[in-house]
Amino acid sequence: MFFDTSLDDPEALASIDGVLRELASWGAHVRRAYSAAAETLDGLNSDDRPRAIVAGGPDGRLFRAVLEPICPVPFVAWPHPGLPAWAGPLDLVVVMCAGGAGPEEISAVAEARRRGCSLLVAAPENSELHSAASSRDTIFLPAGSTDPTAVAVPMLIALHRLGLGPEVEAEPVAEALDDVAKRCAPSVGVDENPAKELALALAEGTPVVWGGSALAARAARRLAENLRKASGRPAIAGDDDQLVPLLADAPEVDVFADPFEDGPAPLRPVLLVLDDGAEAPLLDAARRRLEEVAESSSVRVFPIHAAEGAEIVRFATLLAMGQYVAAYLALGLGRPA
């Protein structure tokens, strides 16, 4: 059962105050992460270009999604222990761990040092990863936040200054996250709050999340994971080929069903379309296909729009909106946020 009134009830909202405050401070996390790394960033230049880049650890795919379209050298995300067999002294290994002690990240750094690779590492000072990465071939960025997306911002700035990625600035990311926090604040009512509106839409539904671009697809997977935790129900992210059969096979709505005699109605899919502003004929065609199948199956469709700006701005705002939705969904379902 979903308690609609809890979304505007001050007492109920107070029970998730800690979660909402943490979400509202995401912009501040980005500013702190940049401030902690600013001195090192100011000293970087693009004199030496590596043969290739390997992004180690679980966050490597985020860097690949941002950099791969324009990176002037081959880029590989490697979310496995160690490094690919070909990595050597001509290559740059990029590793980020906001917590400072991830086993995959430490394994990648240790292997990079053994093979003589250059390193770009972000982690807390005096952490296990900081110690493992210490060498004359390492660029170390102190992590000023425990939030991975916030720490990714100075990492992307560093890669830009090394001539390997697009231009990134911290303040536009922080301002965009501040704007999401303002629009999704608990004091904003359901009729004007996009996160509360989506939580209501998902109250009796199964989220089916699609993001067409590489960045939006990564945000979709993160959003589905958050919604599963929030609701205790399935939540699915995938490409159009994977999602179309789920929408086409949506259970029909029985308007004559009696919930007391027939039991709860089966959960129907709700399609969430993550729109990061990317434009391409294949993406447009995939979106039209999903929306047409959803319409023919009477499945509701809700777009989630990213803020305009650089790739990391769009990714972070999609992620932030999704986390607000998950927090309000958990509240309405009476589950821990």
Co-location of 178 and 158 in the same domain: no
Which of 163, 186, 204 terminates a domain? The answer is 163
Q: Is residue 33 part of a domain?
A: no
Co-location of 225 and 305 in the same domain: yes
Q: Is residue 140 part of a domain?
A: yes
Co-location of 117 and 90 in the same domain: yes
The pLDDT tens digits of the residues spanning 158-171 come to 999 999 999 999 99
Co-location of 207 and 139 in the same domain: no
The pLDDT tens digits of the residues spanning 230-246 come to 999 999 999 999 999 99
**What value does the mean pLDDT take over residues 183-211?**
96
Domain enclosing residue 247, as ranges: 4-26+173-333
Co-location of 9 and 82 in the same domain: no
**What value does the mean pLDDT take over residues 243-269?**
71
CATH number of the domain that 204 lies in?
3.40.50.10490
Confidence of residue 265 (pLDDT cuts 50, 70, 90): low
The predicted pLDDT at position 261 comes to 55
Confidence of residue 256 (pLDDT cuts 50, 70, 90): very low
The three state secondary structure string of the chain is: CCCHHHHHCHHHHHCCHHHHHHHHCHHHHHHHHHHHHHHHHHCCCCCCCCCCEEEECCCHHHHHHHHCCCCCCCEEEECCCCCCCCCCCCCEEEEECCCCCCHHHHHHHHHHHHHCCEEEEEECCCCHHHHHHCCCCEEEEECCCCCHHHHHHHHHHHHHHCCCCCCCCHHHHHHHHHHHHHHCCCCCCCCCCHHHHHHHHCCCEEEEEEECCHHHHHHHHHHHHHHHHHHCCCCEECCHHHHHHHHHCCCCCCCCCCHHHHCCCCCEEEEEEEECCCCCHHHHHHHHHHHHHHHHCCCCEEEEECCCCCHHHHHHHHHHHHHHHHHHHHHHHCCCC
Which of 163, 197, 216 terminates a domain? The answer is 163
The number of domains in the chain is 2
Co-location of 200 and 71 in the same domain: no
User: What is the model's pTM?
Assistant: 0.92
The predicted pLDDT at position 253 comes to 63
